[in-house]
A and B are shown apart, each in its own frame.
Chain A
Amino acid sequence: MFIRFRKKSTPQSSEITPETFYNNRRQFLKTAAFASLGSIAGTGLAPFAGSVWAANGSRHGEKLTNVRSSKWDDSQVGEERTDYDSVTRYNNFYEFGTGKTDPQLYARDFQPKPWKIRVDGLVNKPGDYDFDDLIKPHQLEERVYRHRCVEAWSMVVPWVGVSLRDVIKRLEPQNSAKYVAFETLFDPDQMPGQRRRVLDWPYVEGLRMDEAMNELSLLAVGLYGESLPNQNGAPVRLVTPWKYGFKGIKSIVRISFTDKQPPTSWNKSAPREYGFYSNVNPEVDHPRWSQAKERRIGDFLKRKTLMFNGYEEEVADLYKGMDLSKFY
């Protein structure tokens, strides 16, 4: 018979801290310290950090060359661009923290180069593509799009990127492929926000094939004529301007072709609040707030939200006959 004698120093399994708790410990202590400091001491420290950063400008990306203008230019939007500083300092990118200025603060040392993107699933040209191999064969275009966040604020952003349709065509999806799934890098060392399970990491998103093939869908690699700043999803992100901003998955490392509707992060987190489609729709409210209006960054008054964020002409056909209050 095997009898195991436990040394006094050997911890019982019940004493071992689960790895996730261990990893979360620092973050917990930090947040706990801040919250209690804030509630007890006189001054909040977080806004101070914010103001220090506001005093310095955002770092600029590399200048992009050979960028063609497109039919989605400034005159097509007919509205002023949101200034560069707001676009690069007011971000939702929970991989770098949940505060709006966190991504700008904590993504500074992020390494978007070298970068590989895995292409797999129901596709004829699968493989691990280098960033350049995936993007370079295509024409860079500038597209000035409205950007509507599900939180009811919005911007106008001059993206630079390549047509997702062109990229998909080159990868040759099989006929059975009905959806495209995307995945963000998972690297808690570089992405401190991933050390806590705010969402089920890695971030995943997806589009129906016909949505992905719509002329509006863009794989963005830059903005304002420069390569994407880290906090905006470097080196490559999705932009689907008729959908809420969170569909625009950032820092993409994987593109998969599937025959089933892929899971999407916010839908997994709160299915009642975030659907697979997440089209901008002023008539379908978020359960916790109205989507009828939005505040354009820089404006004082809110403005009415447009159906499909003003891109009805381009995308309304995709959803013909669908009950959009059910398929939100």
Chain B
Amino acid sequence: MKRAIKPLIWLVLLAPLPWLVWLGFTGGMGAEPISFMNRYLGDWAIRILILAIAVTPVSQIFRIKSIMRYRRLIGLFCFFYAFLHLTSYVAIDQFFDFAAIWDDIIKRNYITVGMVSFVLLTALAVTSPKAMVKKIGGKRWRFLHKAVYIAAPLVAFHFIMMRKGFQLEPLIYAAIIAILLGFRLFRFLWTVRKRSKNFSFASMNL
């Protein structure tokens, strides 16, 4: 049973790709398939990002430590979709017009923000193999991987900023990200308080 979980994650998180191909062949991508594809891949990147940062809180709240071992795989899938999202922008939407792309990066806030979060996600992806953890050292590695606390809000902003008018959908994603990161902050403050209480108790005993 346990051995089936990882293949299952692969299957579920890869499913959006054949689905996209099917939509492509059946006309489901609409009149502007290029922008549809780009947004579709971006949507899945942010959904899987949410899934990845939900692993820790879920494992702590429900005390199921075993799911922690799937966090890296989910995180890598998020990077995979973010990579495809960026690739579709560079190679299809802009068709390698690097002058236009550079203009976009420096002039358009939402693309700047998107690029910064992609750089952060890349750093996390390349340092994810076990060998890299050893090489960097556990403490430093954990610190580096806190960069997801910056990347996730940036991704939410990237999504909110590209929409016109006051739209609800990106705000819902942003709210979920805020809750998942807020939980960590809450827990951090909680343990700090507890520790300081323990400390005063200990000093009284002296």
Contacts and interface: CB of A to CB of B under 8 A. Distances in A.
Contact of B32 (A35, A90, A196, A287): A90
B164 to A, nearest CB: 8
Contacts of A39: 46-47, 50-51, 173, 176
If over half of B's interface residues share one DSSP class (helix, strand or loop), that class is named, otherwise mixed; here it is: helix
B165 A94 contact: yes
Interface stretch (B105-113, B140-148, B182-190, B198-206): B105-113
A32 B172 contact: yes
A216 to B, nearest CB: 25
A215 B95 CA distance: 38
Contacts of B30: 50, 54, 89-90, 100-101
B28 A50 contact: yes
A289 B108 contact: yes
A269 interface: yes
Interface string A84-128: 011001100010001011000000000000000000000000000
A101 B167 CA distance: 16
Contacts of A81: none
Given A100-B32, A290-B104, A301-B95, A51 B176 contact: no
A64 to B, nearest CB: 24
Contact of B168 (A28, A42, A287): A28
A90 B43 CA distance: 20
A266 B175 CA distance: 26
A302 B92 CA distance: 10
A290 B103 CA distance: 8
A250 to B, nearest CB: 16
Interface residues of B, number: 42
A289 B165 contact: no
Interface stretch (A133-141, A164-172, A205-213, A292-300): A292-300
A285 B43 contact: no
B19 A43 contact: yes
B43 A38 contact: yes
Contact of A47 (B28, B163, B176): B28
A54 to B, nearest CB: 4
Interface in B141-185: 161-169, 172-173, 176
Interface string B103-140: 11001111000000000000000000000000000000
A316 interface: no
A51 B108 CA distance: 32
Contacts of B12: 42
Contacts of A32: 168, 172
A289 B172 contact: no
B40 A47 contact: yes
Interface string B30-48: 1110110000100110110
Interface in A248-305: 266, 269-270, 285, 287-290, 292-293, 295, 297-298, 300-302
A228 to B, nearest CB: 18
A290 B162 CA distance: 13
9 contacts: A28-B168, A35-B176, A39-B51, A42-B15, A50-B28, A51-B27, A89-B31, A289-B104, A297-B31
Interface of B: 12, 15-16, 19, 22-23, 26-28, 30-32, 34-35, 40, 43-44, 46-47, 50-51, 94-95, 100, 103-104, 107-110, 161-169, 172-173, 176
4 A-B pairs with the lowest CB-CB distances in the bound complex, closest first? A51-B28, A90-B31, A86-B31, A39-B47
Given A44-B43, A44-B44, 12 more contacts: A31-B168, A32-B172, A42-B15, A54-B30, A55-B27, A86-B31, A89-B31, A90-B30, A90-B32, A100-B32, A266-B164, A270-B165
